[in-house]
Amino acid sequence: MRVLVVGSGGREHALAWALSASPLLTKLWVAPGNPGTALVAENVGIAALHIERLVQFAREHAVDLVVPGPEGPLVAGLADAMAQAGICCIGPTAAAARLEGSKAFAKQLCNDAGIPTALWEQFTDVEEARAFIRRRGAPVVVKADGLASGKGVVVAATVEAAEAALDAIMRDRSFGDSGASVVIEECLMGEEISLFALCDGTDAVFLGAAQDHKRLGDGDIGPNTGGMGALSPVPGFDPGPAMDGFIRPALAEMARRGTPFRGILFAGLMLTADGAKLIEYNVRFGDPECQVLLPRLRSDLLPALLAACDGELGRFDLRWNAGAAVAVVMAAPGYPAAPEPGSDIGDLSAAAAVPGALVFQAGTRLDSGRLLADGGRVLTICGTGADAAAARAVAYQAVEAVPWTEGIYRTDIGVRSQYK
Ligand code: AMP
Ligand code: GLY
């Protein structure tokens, strides 16, 4: 099998790492990749959103399977373009990627399919939205309808903060056309869980669950980020009811509408006092969740992705390693607002040599043989072990073996699970 992974983050490094272990693999490329993916695959200098060039490359190199990491290319039609060229791509069509590309679309689907979610209203008029916020009061959640690189959601503690978010999204168009409409929702309280399923349009297989740590600082304080660390499995979480409540009905409704969902469906759930409720759907693996799920996967990832492409997941089962994985993200100083590029990361071999540890690269760059920080989230250091505490100890031992002194990270990833 000749496989092309699309993307350049820690998630894509983990995907390339997992695929590179498959006995079915003959050649692996990552576009555009990073210095980490270059250790397990060949990097191709094509941006993830350059769909035409990706299709051309896949054609010219007889690629058998395309594995997209991020949502952007999927929402922009990467899977459709590959299908037209007769190339298998394990991701949803643009029509099915609306599950992530439009919050209002996902919320309407929840209502139509009876999937529990926060109460919501959609607005295209800023003054009507403002009046609704004032009537409803705080706390309240304001979301740009379209994609906003994970930054278009504000959980507002006060009416003033909600109105400021509304003005930024709708009036100032901080996220461009993604703010042409907003969804305003009830604020849910509880533990958040990321649930993953591999889907073939009809059937779904559980791909693991993880707990992300979104806030920048220890103890869940500071600004929201793309995710500062993750833990899998989630102690006490039973995936069976969640698959039946949030994945299967969404698949059935998408198929009923004539836009079946094929690919990785990520349900962000809030475990509230009233039971689990959907926060959002994503149409891809999470980052850093992917980095804790794949090290736990005992089965070969490649045949699973192919079965999903071929609509044959009904007969498929995945096996998992016992134990747990903890991933710690190391970010550049200034992240998330203004990460400083260019600091020297140094030699990662001591970290990678810690037994049970895996080092995934994201925002890194090689300059005359020196590895430099070149983005917000720079490294994901993953530890595996018999349980969360053991995995955590491995992860932090490896973090301490990274010579990069400027890197910032949380020291409490996966800690909470120990109290459960
Ligand atoms: P999203 O981009 O939809 O994942 O939202 C980002 C984060 O905002 C989520 O991970 C939650 O922590 C928070 N969030 C989103 N919607 C809600 C809600 N209705 N109630 C409480 N928190 C929310
Ligand atoms: N870590 C959350 C996400 O990938 O959306």
| Mean pLDDT of the chain, nearest integer | 96
| 119, part of any domain | no
pLDDT digits 0-9 by tens, 43-58: 999 999 999 999 999 9
Q: Are 354 and 399 in contact (CB under 8 A)?
A: no
How many domains in the chain?
4
Q: What separation in Å is there between the alpha carbon of 150 and the centre of ligand 1?
A: 10
In a domain, 112, yes or no: no
CA distance 250 to 201: 10
Find the domain containing 394 and state its range.
324-419
Rounded to the nearest angstrom, the distance between the alpha carbon of 78 and the centre of ligand 2 is: 20
Q: Residue 269's beta-bridge partner residues?
A: 193, 278
Q: Give me the phi and psi of 168, to 5 degrees please.
A: -65, -45
CB-ligand 2 contact for 282 (6 Å cutoff): yes
Give the confidence band of 417 by pLDDT, cuts at 50, 70, 90. low
Output the pLDDT for position 95: 98
**Is 402 found in the same domain as 355?**
yes
- DSSP secondary structure string, 273-330? TTEEEEEEEESS--TTHHHHHGGGB-S-HHHHHHHHHTT-GGG----B-SSEEEEEEE
Same domain, 284 and 212: yes
Average pLDDT over every residue of 367-383: 97
Sequence letter at residue 81:
A
Q: Is residue 400's pLDDT more than 50?
A: yes
pLDDT higher than 50, residue 180: yes
388 in a structural domain: yes
**Domain stop point among 139, 157, 180:** 180
287 ligand 2 Cβ < 6 A: yes
Same domain, 69 and 12: yes
Q: How far is the CA of 67 from the centre of ligand 1 (A)?
A: 27
Average pLDDT over residues 25-29: 98
Q: Give CA–CA dist 255/96, Å, rounded.
A: 9
Domain boundary among 116, 151, 180: 180
